[in-house]
């Protein structure tokens, strides 16, 4: 009897583990998931994203960042969209996310349109994944097909935000470890970092860099000198202005191209974590990839597309047991 009980426990543990790995490695996603239930889903998302980006090009970067921060915490399950309630602590107010994440109202508008067209059908997690693809395309980046079928979580994780999401001052090994934890390779990491070719960083995230080794890594010509002077003017060393922003790609800040990698080659990366890809003594492989993507924008676009699909495929296995399609992306269904 004891042997039988032990075997049952082992079998149950094995089954649970296999289920988790099955969902993690082979998520039940498909390209035609909404073909019958909501055939216009992608078109609705695209139209709303066109309006959002047309009104402000910076909205593209906001949505891309939301998607990344969602997928790195519990998988791509829409948990980043949840507001705090009496019974749930969301992720929006975690130190890494606070004042850094914006664009939630764009997802709200898209979701409202989809609920009018196809009630209770398209998950918030899928909305955000579609929107991130369209955001990229609308500012000149590559297109990729998005597998769909994600479910929305009923939970969020304030603590995982701090442990899972790479920080602006992380060293190269720490960044690599955080990507590998998500089953993303070094190649994926360097390609996905290229999303910093659009978007802004806050002073609190680049202060250490511009008053640290910026002048050591950068080839300090007239343009770099002028740019550094501007950065310091809006981000004082003594503190203050923490939420003042600067473009991570100051050459073409609203165009999705490979300019970001050229900036790294010149040693002018705005964030320590970005410049580490090229300047770290440990970055033998990452340095080669930075050079490659700087030289070949098509190679960058192809790898970015592939890596974004991998990012979007990081699913939360719990949502396929106890997930839902939220009616309002900010709140769990009641």
Q: Is 77 annotated as a binding residue?
A: yes
> In angstroms, what CA-CA distances link 272 with 45, 181, 256?
34, 21, 21
> In angstroms, what CA-CA distances link 117 with 39, 110, 206, 288?
10, 11, 43, 47
> Residue 246: enclosing H or E segment and its boundaries?
strand 245-247
Cα gap 3→13, rounded to integer Å: 15
Residues 6+ apart with CB under 8 A from 137: 143
Active site residue 69: yes
Cα gap 255→260, rounded to integer Å: 10
CB-based contact 64:195 (threshold 8 Å): yes
Phi, psi dihedrals of residue 162, rounded to the nearest 5°: -75, -35
Q: Is 234 annotated as a binding residue?
A: no
Residue 59 corresponds to which tokens in the numbers above?
A: 């909205």
Residues 6+ apart with CB under 8 A from 216: 267
Cα gap 187→113, rounded to integer Å: 37
Q: Is 227 annotated as a binding residue?
A: no
The active-site residue out of 67, 69, 227, 262 is: 69
Phi, psi dihedrals of residue 331, rounded to the nearest 5°: -140, 145
Cα gap 317→320, rounded to integer Å: 6
CB-based contact 70:156 (threshold 8 Å): no
Q: Is 79 annotated as a binding residue?
A: yes
Cα gap 155→169, rounded to integer Å: 29
DSSP, collapsed to helix, strand or coil, labels residue 77 as: coil
Q: Is 197 annotated as a binding residue?
A: yes
Q: How many CB atoms lie within 10 A of CB 182?
A: 17
Q: Is 204 annotated as a binding residue?
A: no
Q: Is 276 annotated as a binding residue?
A: no
DSSP, collapsed to helix, strand or coil, labels residue 30 as: strand
Catalytically annotated residues? 69
Which residues sit in the known binding site? 70, 73, 75, 77, 79, 91, 166, 196-197, 249, 252, 257
Which residues sit in the known binding site for substrate? 166
């Amino acid at each position: 009897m004891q042997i039988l009980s032990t075997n049952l426990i082992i079998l149950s543990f094995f089954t649970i583990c296999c289920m988790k790995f099955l969902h993690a490695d082979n998520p039940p996603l498909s390209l035609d998931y909404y073909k019958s239930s909501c055939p216009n889903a992608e078109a609705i998302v695209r139209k709303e994203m066109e309006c959002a980006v047309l009104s402000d090009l910076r909205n593209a970067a906001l949505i891309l960042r939301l998607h990344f921060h969602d997928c790195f915490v519990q998988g791509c399950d829409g948990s980043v969209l949840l507001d705090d309630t009496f019974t749930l602590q969301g992720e929006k107010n975690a130190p890494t996310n606070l004042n850094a994440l914006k664009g939630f109202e764009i997802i709200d508008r898209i979701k409202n349109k989809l609920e009018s067209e196809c009630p209770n059908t398209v998950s918030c997690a899928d909305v955000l994944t579609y929107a991130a693809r369209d955001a990229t395309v609308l500012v000149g980046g590559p297109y990729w097909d998005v597998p769909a079928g994600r479910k929305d979580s009923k939970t969020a994780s304030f603590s995982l935000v701090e442990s899972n999401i790479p920080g602006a001052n992380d060293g190269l090994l720490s960044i690599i470890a955080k990507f590998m934890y998500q089953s993303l390779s070094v190649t994926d990491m360097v390609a996905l970092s290229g999303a910093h070719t659009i978007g802004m960083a806050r002073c609190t995230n680049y202060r250490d860099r511009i008053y640290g080794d910026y002048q050591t890594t950068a080839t300090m010509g007239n343009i770099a000198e002028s740019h550094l002077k501007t950065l310091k003017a809006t981000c004082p060393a003594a503190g203050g202005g923490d939420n003042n922003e600067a473009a991570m790609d100051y050459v073409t800040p609203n165009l999705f191209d490979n300019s970001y990698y050229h900036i790294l080659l010149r040693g002018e990366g705005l964030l320590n974590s970005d410049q580490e890809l090229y300047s770290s003594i440990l970055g033998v492989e990452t340095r080669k990839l930075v050079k490659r993507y700087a030289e070949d924008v098509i190679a960058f676009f192809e790898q970015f597309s592939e890596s974004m699909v991998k990012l979007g495929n990081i699913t939360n296995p719990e949502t396929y047991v106890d997930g839902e399609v939220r009616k309002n992306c900010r709140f769990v269904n009641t």
